[in-house]
Amino acid sequence: MQYKASFFMSVFGQFLTSFATFLTIYFLFQRFSNVDGYTFSEILICYSSVIFAFSTAECFFRGFDGFARIIGNGEFDRMMVRPRPLVLQVMGQRIEFTRIGRFLQSIAILIYALPASGIIWTPDKIFALALMIIGETAVFTGLFIIYASICFFTLEGLEFMNVFTDGGRELGSYPIDIYGRGVLIFYTFVVPLACAQYYPFRYIIGRTSDIAALLTPVYCFIFLIPCYFVWRLGVRHYRSSGS
């Protein structure tokens, strides 16, 4: 019984974590009328899509996060001899309940944001939003895979990778152009978060009517290819280092 109470408290605690970030943005917009011309309702689209994409990617692919532990205690060796694909095995490791909680909350935020944003959802905009979310999920998934791949080479200094995963989520809560050209270029060509979060977003809120903006999420999927190669490189390095 006590464990059940603790579980519900964990879920509520998890809710508080997400809610706190939302409150932060809400407080900011109580004071500031806009940020670089974007209003609160427009930010809601950005924010809710990124949180949803991050939760989805995290729910399924952040098994790679506890990866250091798996390698450290030799469990990965056992995985390597099983007939199932490695990627799937690692994924299955850590579908934690708290993450499912966060995932459900992100759905709630999305459901709140869609009407609250004041956007009239025509089919092309719905399509754009879907591309946004799928593209963002792809980028975060790629980053989680890279995180795990680094574990093959070193177990030190992993926390810097969080700058891109969790940091990407924080920065991605706002349209990426508010941070300046340099950041926008980085997030377009190196980690293509902007290709999902920014260019289609501008189409949705009506700042551009160029359909080409909807094509940019393609780069997010292309991004997964080098990520997968890094993973294979890591596995090969691990094998050859004779563990």
Partner 1 sequence: MSANVQNTDKAEKRAGVVKYLSFFRMKFISGLQYRAAAIAGIATQFAWGFMDILIYSAFARSDPSSLPMPMEALTSYIWMRQAFLGLFMAWYFDAELIDMISSGNVAYELCRPADIYGMWFAKTAATRTSRAVLRCFPILLVAFFLPHGFAMNPPASAAAGALFALSLILGFLCVISFGMLVYISTFYTVSSNGLRLILVNIVSFTSGELIPLPFFPDAARRVLELSPFAAMQSTPYMIWGGVMAGKEALFFIGLQLFWFAVMTVAGKLWMKRALVRVVVQGA
Contact residues for partner 1 (CB under 8 A)? 2-3, 5-14, 16-17, 20-21, 23-24, 27-28, 30-37, 154, 156-160, 162-163, 167, 170-171, 174, 178-180, 183
Residue 169's H or E segment, with its range, is helix 162-172
| Nearer Cβ to partner 1 (124/170) | 170
| Nearer Cβ to partner 1 (13/206) | 13
| Nearer Cβ to partner 1 (154/240) | 154
Closest approach of partner 1 to the CB of residue 226, in Å: 22
| Nearer Cβ to partner 1 (17/122) | 17
Question: Which residue type, as a one-letter code, is found at position 187?
Answer: Y
Closest approach of partner 1 to the CB of residue 79, in Å: 26
Closest approach of partner 1 to the CB of residue 176, in Å: 10
Q: Computed from CA positions of residues 48, 52, 58, 59, in that sequence, does the dihedral angle turn out positive or negative?
A: positive
Q: How far apart are CA 136 and CA 130, in angstroms?
A: 10
Collect contacts of 98-104 with beta carbons under 8 A, ≥24 apart.
98/10, 98/11, 98/14, 99/55, 99/58, 99/59, 99/62, 100/59, 101/10, 101/11, 101/14, 101/15, 102/14, 102/17, 102/18, 102/55, 102/58, 102/59, 103/55, 103/56, 103/58, 103/59
| Nearer Cβ to partner 1 (12/121) | 12
Q: Computed from CA positions of residues 146, 147, 149, 155, in that sequence, does the dihedral angle turn out positive or negative?
A: positive
Could you give the C-alpha distances from 236 to 71, 81, 144, in angstroms and in order?
A: 14, 14, 18
Closest approach of partner 1 to the CB of residue 146, in Å: 15
| Nearer Cβ to partner 1 (86/178) | 178
Closest approach of partner 1 to the CB of residue 31, in Å: 5
Closest approach of partner 1 to the CB of residue 102, in Å: 12
User: Residue 38 pairs with which residues in a beta bridge?
Assistant: 35
